[in-house]
Every structure is written in structure tokens, then in C-alpha cells.
Amino acid sequence: MKCNAGVMHGVGQDWTVEEIEVDDPRAGEVLVRWTHAGMCHSDEHVHTGDMVPSPEALEMMGIEGGFFPIVGGHEGAGVVEAVGEGVTSVAPGDHVSASFIPSCGQCRYCVTGRQNLCDQGAGAFVKGMITDGTSRHRLGSDDLMLFAKLGTFAEYSCVATSQVIKVDADLPLDVVALVSCGVATGWGSATRRAEVRPGDVVVVVGIGGIGINAVQGAAMAGAKKVIAVDPVEFKREKAMEFGATDTFASMEEAFPAVTEMTMGQMADKVIMTPGVLYGEMMQLGTGLAGKGGTIVVTAIAPMEQTESSVNLFEMAMWNKEIKGTIFGSLNPRHDIPNLLSMYTSGSLKLDELITNRYPLADINEGYRAMRDGENIRGIIAHADA
């Protein structure tokens, strides 16, 4: 079948809307009609090149044919159109959330409760299907890369069953799309990876789609102070709506205030969620944490960045720790439905996250708005949503 898709052809280029061809699903695969796609900053990292391996790295990884062209989108929700042989987890007509982290249920990480580290995620930026390595998506004669093997900027894509999670049919699919990455990653960064506890002082650096949900998660976990740091006034105002108690425009501005409000003890948890995390930012990030403090690194850094400013004496003598996280260290098959159940019960804000909705044709306008700090979250609503 043929459909429209948001495609990028190289670093620094705009998204283009082009007609692609999508094959029918084979064994272990499903064809999904995506109704909504989240405009996550991670897709912007393809535009800037922060998530694009160098030609040397691609060669070392044995990846042939280059990185581009790529269909963007890894946050999404939609309806199953068709299933391949042997598929029993979903059926045509089922509503599903994308899961940019596959969960096979069989690898070492899945069976030990760490689905966010599933081995099937290793090929996220390799062309071809998880199932057999061959392609189902083409632009002319070119096989297409799909972001995280999902490509939710396309109206339709063929994905492995390990990449979709069935959700209740009465849930609005725009908010389901958000839970598939940004909400889970931010909320889990606070509640799971940082292990925020009642009475903690928490600093969240960067209030985008992930950071706003780290704020929400920290507040829900009972933090007595949730301090949001972002240079954009609009984002600081939104952070207050999601549970922040204090806001500052920079870490430099926050540092003396956190020192004063904690009587010099500093924060219990610091969650780093800026749009791009550069190594020099970690010096103040770790400095904002006090004795026994935890610093969670959630944001994407340039792939080939290897240096970071961390005071190792302070790390040792103050018993601090730095933790990385992907998908907020949550388990997609449990936590996506769980977050949605909190939404239906009224305890988790999701509708309020969406600043603007865009047709696929306006994808570049949506990303401009994100870069300029006008959106907390933008959503693509496909034509047949």
C-alpha cells in the first residue's frame, strides 16, 4: 500500500512529506494505521545530527547503505489494520500504543524486569524489520530507515508485535501517543530511576516534554520542593501547573536559591532533561545535589561526546551517584497501561501537556515551535485520525 510520511534526507534538512510504499505484515508483524504521533525532541536530534552516527561509526557497526532517508516518529498511537502469521497479542481493530523500546519477553533483560533494556532495541537505527532484517518500507527504490523501527510520522507502518501495546479503545489516542515515550520517560526518571521520596528536594533541569513529566512525577511522589529550571518563561509557568514549587531561568540562578532554601544541604535528586545535554552542564548539575544525592541523566547528548565536567572528589566524599536512564527505567508493557489508568482516574495530567496539534504537512512548523520554546508538546494528527 502507499501512504504519506514525514521523511528526512540528511542532517540539517527539513522534514519532507512524501509518498512511501508499505508492504503487508509477515510473521510476527502488524500493520498499524497511526492516528497520532508525538513530536518528540529525539526526532529533532536527527535534524541536528546529535543522534546520527558518523560514517566511521556506521562502518564499524557494519551498517551499510547509510542512515538516510529516514521516516521519523517514535511516539505514536493508532489502530491495527492487519496482522501477520502467528500474531495473537493484537488483532485488526485493536487500539495500540507504540513502544520505542521493544519488549520481547524472552531476553535476559525482559525476564529480569528490565524491559527498557530489551535486546531487540539494539537495532533501533539499522534498516530492516526486527523480525527478519528485511525491509517493508520504501521510497522509490530506496529501503527506508524508520526511527526506532516505528516511523509514526507515516500514516501507516509495519512493525514487530514487540513494538505495540494494546490499550483500551475508549482512550483518546492523542494522549496515548504521548505516554509511549515522553510522559513515561520523564515520570519514570523521577519516580523510578531517581526514586523520589516524600519530603525530597528535587531539581529538574530542562522543562520540555520529558522534564515537565519529571516535575509531575516528583510532585506525585511527594517531594516537598520541586524546582524547575528552564530559560523559557512559558515553560517555567507550565511547570508550576504540573507541580513545581519554584522555578529559575538557569542552574546558575538556581544554585544560590537552592543553597538558601535547603540551609546548604542542596537537593536530594537532580534530573537532567535539557534539550541537548552537553558535558560542561554536568558540573552545575552535580553541584546542585547534596550529600548522598542522585543525579539522573535522561537527556540525549551528542553521540560522540566523551567528556563531562564532574568533580570526582565531590562525588566520592559526598557519596553522590550519577545514573543514566532510558524510558525512565520503566517496563513498557506494564507502565504504559498503568500511566493511562492514572490518567483515567484523574491523578496524571496528559491533556494539559498538548500545546498544539498539526497536520503532517505542518511538521516543520511544529518543530520550529518546539525549538523556539512555544510548545510543551506538539502532536501530529494524521489526516484520517
pLDDT in tens, 217-271: 999 999 999 999 999 999 999 999 999 999 999 999 999 999 999 999 999 999 9
Which among 292, 308, 325 is the end of a domain?
A: 325
What pTM does this model have? Answer: 0.95
Q: Check whether residue 218 and residue 146 sit in a common domain.
A: no
Q: Report yes or no on 165 lying in a domain.
A: yes
Beta carbons within 8 Å of 346's beta carbon, 6+ residues apart: none
Q: Check whether residue 162 and residue 202 sit in a common domain.
A: no
DSSP annotation string for 353-366: GEEEEE-GGGHHHH
Q: Check whether residue 135 and residue 201 sit in a common domain.
A: no
Q: Report yes or no on 105 lying in a domain.
A: yes
Rounded Cα–Cα distance for residues 58 and 35 (Å): 33
Residue 124 is predicted with a pLDDT of 81
Residue 97 is predicted with a pLDDT of 98
Q: Report yes or no on 179 lying in a domain.
A: no
Q: Check whether residue 321 and residue 363 sit in a common domain.
A: no
- Amino acid identity, position 327: F
Q: Check whether residue 200 and residue 320 sit in a common domain.
A: yes
Average pLDDT over residues 57-69: 76
Q: Using a pLDDT cut of 90, give the percent of the chain over it.
A: 90
- Yes or no: say if 281 and 262 are a contact pair by the CB < 8 Å rule: no
Q: Report yes or no on 288 lying in a domain.
A: yes
Q: Check whether residue 47 and residue 137 sit in a common domain.
A: yes
Q: Check whether residue 126 and residue 60 sit in a common domain.
A: yes
Q: Report yes or no on 76 lying in a domain.
A: yes
Q: Check whether residue 151 and residue 7 sit in a common domain.
A: yes
Residue 205's CATH number: 3.40.50.720
Average pLDDT over residues 98-117: 95
pLDDT in tens, 145-170: 999 999 999 999 999 999 999 999 99
Q: Check whether residue 248 and residue 371 sit in a common domain.
A: no
Range of the domain at 118: 2-170+350-381
Domain count, the chain: 2
Residue 152's CATH number: 3.90.180.10
Q: Report yes or no on 99 lying in a domain.
A: yes
